[in-house]
Structure 1
Amino acid sequence: MHAMQYEITLPADYDMGIIRERVATRGHLLDGFPGLGLKAYLIRERGGTSPVNQYAPLYLWSTPEGMNSFLWGPGFQGIVDDFGRPRVQHWTGLLHQEGPASQALPRTAVRRRERIADSVRPAVAVEAALAESRRLAGTPGAVATALAVDPRHWELLHFTLWEHEPSGAPGDRYEVLHLSSPERDRLGQGKQW
């Protein structure tokens, strides 16, 4: 599994209805994309819990071929043509776990990025993060959770899809506009090694 996200931060007065319409009319195009475990079409709107307007889809790829096919094909080129070329962040998958609400349509996503301190052994940090992800995956209302790592920057990515707005879950909150999940069953369950 590979996790991938790009963030398109938009002006404070940007009409987020444009993004909503874009997802409503184009989101289904990846509903059958080979190699895609899931794509959560995420937005944040300025005010409330977000300081910015942002379109920030997050992908969990079941194969690297799927990710490469998307990045070098017409799908990503549409983003580049409309918004410029965003920086694409990616992480190696550590865990994917379905939650008790796995059959529900997610409404909210929470993403938390956590740097692994230089003084902490990477394996110790990963084991603690795995335990936290498993706990989250068992929480009522959790649709699915994923944990991934960027070993270049020693950063963990915690990502959970929720059936509703969770209380007390730390991290950046997003509204889920659409979920494409053609190969979600190929992401595996549990630890990825």
Structure 2
Amino acid sequence: MSVRSKTVEAKRTERWVRTAGIGAMVGGGAVLAGTILDNVTAFTETPATAEYVATWSMLTIGALLLLVGAAALYTRYGDIYGRLGLAGTVIAGLGFLSMTVGGLWSTLYTGPAGEATQSGGLVFFGLLVAVLGSLVFAIALRRAGLAGRAAALLIVAPVVLVATFVVGETLTALSGFDVMWLLFLVTFCTGWVALGDAIRYTSDSALEETATPAA
């Protein structure tokens, strides 16, 4: 294979990674919007309504984009962040897969409202798994000096989640809504938006330098 062929292939891979990085940014925003609507509105209480379908569709598409973003994360940093980063990426990917399946199940569900808890539980379980995986690879990124802002947010997110179970009920009683849970969602999803930005930002200078055909 010529140097030019290798360069073209590398550029195609880079383009896919950048696109997936943008998708992760969109996915993080979509999951944040969907989860907030699920928590502060009654949209997801009645299956098969337009609001119900729209909210769960938003969550499903967002989770799928984050799943692709996890694959792009490995492609971008797999040779740098080591086995710890790989383990965290796989765990996060499984979490997003669970969220995608549960979200799609909820989107298509048309039965009684009380029987929709299994699909919602799959989304909630997947979110917790994704948080754990994100924490693991964020530590690896931090150690490697990569994506510092995203790593910091993804490390803080589980701390806020734990605080939700400690002081969440008290703040909910005072404010009327789950402040800590919403803060956790904002922190986690913003972390993935920042990570998507880090994934998509790559200089092409090295590729351009190898674009000259071999002598």
Which structure shows the higher strand fraction? 1
Q: TM-score range by the shorter chain?
A: under 0.3
TM-score, normalised to structure 2's length? 0.23
Say which one has the larger Rg: 2
- Which one scores higher on RCO, CA 8 angstroms, separation ≥ 6? 1
TM-score, normalization by structure 1: 0.25
